[in-house]
Amino acid sequence: MDTSRSKVLENENSQKMLEESIKIMKKYSISDSYLINMNARELRSLMDQASDYEAVLIKHRRRTIKNRNYAFTSRNKRVAELIDLNTREQLLKHEIRKMLCEIETLEKDIIYLSTIVNQK
């Protein structure tokens, strides 16, 4: 089977699993936020109530939601770090400019003082 056709079938299966998992969540009156925050005992109780197929879909949905949350958190952290690094870069560039001005002033002072010393 060519890869494009297999990807289409994979997408169709994923969509079908998503729709079925949503139905199961409604059947057991469980929200996504509750599903990812369930403790082990609550999750085990839910798995005991569900059929094997439903349990697989519930676990898959839980893992998918958690992965999305981790990805979201990771993206936010990366953006925050980038902002922090850009801020630090600007501060360091400003500090470099100040130091270059100070060096220029000191060089002028050295030249001025050396001319005074040479005149004597």
Q: What's the chain's average pLDDT?
A: 91
pLDDT digit string, tens, across residues 77-92 = 999 999 999 999 999 9
- Can you tell me the distance from the alpha carbon of 60 to that of 94, in angstroms, rounded to the nearest whole number? 51
- Can you tell me the distance from the alpha carbon of 74 to that of 60, in angstroms, rounded to the nearest whole number? 21
Tokens of 32: 């996504």
The domain segmentation of the chain, as residue ranges, is 3-84
- Can you tell me the distance from the alpha carbon of 46 to that of 29, in angstroms, rounded to the nearest whole number? 11
Cβ-in-10-Å burial (0-12, 13-18, 19+) of 58 comes to: buried
State pTM to two decimals: 0.65
